[in-house]
Chains A and B, each alone.
Chain A
Amino acid sequence: MLSAEAVSALSLSVRVAVVATAVNAAVGIPLAWALARHRFWGRGLLDLLVTLPLVLPPTVTGYYLIVLLGRRGWIGGPLYAATGWSVAFTWYAAIVAATIMAMPLMVRTARAAIESVNRDFEKAAFTLGRSEWQAAIEVTLPLARKGLLAGLVLAFARALGEFGATLMLAGNIPGKTQTVPLAIYTAVQTGESSEALGLVLMLTALSALVLIASARLGGRAQ
């Protein structure tokens, strides 16, 4: 059986991935819609910022997150001065890292799906009295749902497997910020090969499960 540490890593990973996916749905889908359907000031920059974590090494993204959110960071500094609390080295940091790392996959997939929806459907909704928001919610997003679902699956998988940025911002504190990928790394480093194997198998099974479930859902959505 798995050790208590492994179980806690597994539970943390699932919680982090679920929350990161939820944030991606709440933020990433509107963002994808805005990028797909609107021209606004700073659009190119926003697109670049969202996509960068996809191409940067995760440690680089993690470094930027420390600069931004760390105890002496641009945002983290004033926050720490005011409240004595910092996100760094808490499980919230793992969520932040996983969310940022998963965002490009969510946004790019959702954006492509939204762009592929024929604009005539939206125009039809306008002529039938819908505002742009209403048209997006009632027409565009339902028609893009397969792509949105695919984006969520990718985001979940990415969040579940996040390593580098999490290590930078959240650290590797067993029982607190140690997610499964970090636990696997630690187990291999310390020679606990059966522990590593157990975690590897658990993570593989979990990922496979998510893929199968999403294929089922996608099939039904068709």
Chain B
Amino acid sequence: MLFGPSGSGKTLTLQCLDGLVRPDRGRIVVNGRTLFGADAGVHLPPQARRLGYVFQGYALFPHLTVAANVGFGLKHLGRAERESRVAEVIDRLGLADLAGRYPRELSGGQQQRVALGRALAPDPELILLDEPLSALDAPLRRQLRDDLGAILSDWGKAAVLVTHDLSEAYQLATTVVVYQDGRVIQSAAKSELLWQPASEAVARVMGIRNILRGTVVKATPEAIQFRWRGQLLEAVNSPSRSYLPEPRSPLAFYIRPEYVRLIRKDRSGPDAAHHMNLMNATVTREADAGTVWSLYLRLEEAGTPAQGDYDLEVEVPKLVYEILDIPRDRHWQISIHRGSIQVLPST
């Protein structure tokens, strides 16, 4: 899964893979077969790469029927063999009743299936998909995303998919490659990406909220202590790739809005085992986000430097918002677990 903002080079990567664009440098190897090698002077044309390409908007041939579209890449086969392969693919994709229809007579979901069928029919080594869902509106998009995931896993084909929608990446991908300004800024398993973005740039591209900057006090392989807005905070250092910045060096980190805890006033006060990184804050404004409320907090003893019109965004379930009577009670003590502060290594 290639993920990144528009114009960051994802589609270009796909076209290089497919031979529609010739890269200046590097090598492209698929299943041990070199498709491109700048040093060896290898540049297979798209026709010889045996890759399936699903275009943005599908690019189904409008003048050909569903069956002819699916069979388009099978010209090298004999007539009988081609027809049986087309029938097999069409059947497997549940398109049997539509074989004689033209693309304009199909729904978006059916078009996607035909596009997949056309790319899969020649049995490619890899299937490339360029923003297959971007042109659709939300409900259809979800449905087609599930459909796409099911078809790809059913056919057992490795796929490279381009998207600028992170939730799409999470739903469909095993590995996510993050692009920005023509560069890969992280390539990782999706769970790792979610919990350990490699840098502040990755976190920003991912749309993570509460990306903040502080100053290192002390870093050990177990924990990093740092100062932020006059508060002394502590975060767990990553056991797999501990990060040891120098004291007094700047530090970027983020706090997921749903992991900030408001401490209830009707219970006994905070205890050190459960509540760490304690701070006092005021709710300055809030926004109803459907099932949750977003609260925008300003620290009460905030040190310099000042930042924005709030310090921290906190997300609470609607029920909690009502039980705690937040519309009337604006002052809260908050705590953030050491493990809920993610440090972003500077690169």
B234 within 8 A of A: no
A contact patch SS: helix
Contacts A139-B61, A143-B62 given; indicate if A130 touches B47 (C-beta within 8 A): yes
Contact call B73/A128, Cβ cutoff below 8 A: yes
B162 at the A/B interface (Cβ < 8 Å)?
Answer: no
| Number of chain B residues whose Cβ lies closer than 8 Å to a Cβ of chain A | 23
The reply to whether the CB of B214 lies closer than 8 angstroms to some CB of chain A is no
> Assuming the A-B contacts A118-B59, A139-B61, A143-B62, are A123 and B76 also in contact, with contact meaning beta carbons closer than 8 angstroms in the complex?
no
Number of A-B pairs, beta carbon distance below 8 Å: 50
Contact call A120/B55, Cβ cutoff below 8 A: yes
A185 contacts B by Cβ under 8 Å: no
A129–B73 Cα distance when bound, in Å, is 6
CA distance A118 to B59 in the complex (A): 8
> Given A129-B122, A142-B63, A143-B63: A124 and B20 within 8 A (CB)?
no
| Residues 3-17 (chain B) with a chain A CB within 8 angstroms | none
- Given contacts A127-B53, A128-B72, A129-B47, A121 and B18 within 8 Å (CB-CB): no
Which residues of chain B come closer than 8 Å to A120, judged between CB atoms?
55-57, 59
Q: Mark B46-67, 1 if CB is under 8 A from A, else 0.
A: 1101011101110101110000
Confirm or deny: B75 has a beta carbon within 8 angstroms of a beta carbon on chain A.
yes
Interface size class of A (residues with CB under 8 A): 10 to 19
Q: Tell me the bound Cα distance from A130 to B53 in angstroms.
A: 14
Taking CB atoms, residues of chain A closer than 8 Å to B18 are 127
Q: Specify which of B56, B61, B62, B122 lies most central, judged by the most chain A CB atoms within 10 Å of its CB.
A: B61
Q: In this assembly, does B118 line the interface, its C-beta being within 8 Å of a C-beta of chain A? A: yes
Let me know if A85 is at the binding interface, CB within 8 A. Answer: no
Please tell me if the beta carbons of A127 and B51 are within 8 angstroms of each other in the complex.
yes
Q: Is the CB of B72 within 8 A of A125?
A: yes
**Distance between Cα atoms of A121 and B57 in the complex (Å):** 11
Closest B residue to A143 by beta carbon equals: B63
Known contacts A120-B55, A120-B57: does B47 contact A126 (CB below 8 Å)?
yes
Contact, CB under 8 Å: A123 / B59: yes
Contact call A126/B46, Cβ cutoff below 8 A: yes
Contact with B along A90-127 (1 / 0, CB 8 A): 00000000000000000000000000001011011111
Cβ of A11 < 8 Å from any Cβ of B?
no
Can you list 13 A-B pairs, Cβ within 8 angstroms, ordered by A?
A123-B46, A123-B59, A124-B53, A124-B59, A126-B46, A126-B47, A127-B18, A127-B46, A127-B73, A127-B119, A128-B122, A129-B76, A143-B63
By Cβ-Cβ distance, the 7 closest A-B pairs, closest first, are A128-B73, A120-B59, A127-B53, A126-B46, A124-B59, A120-B55, A142-B63
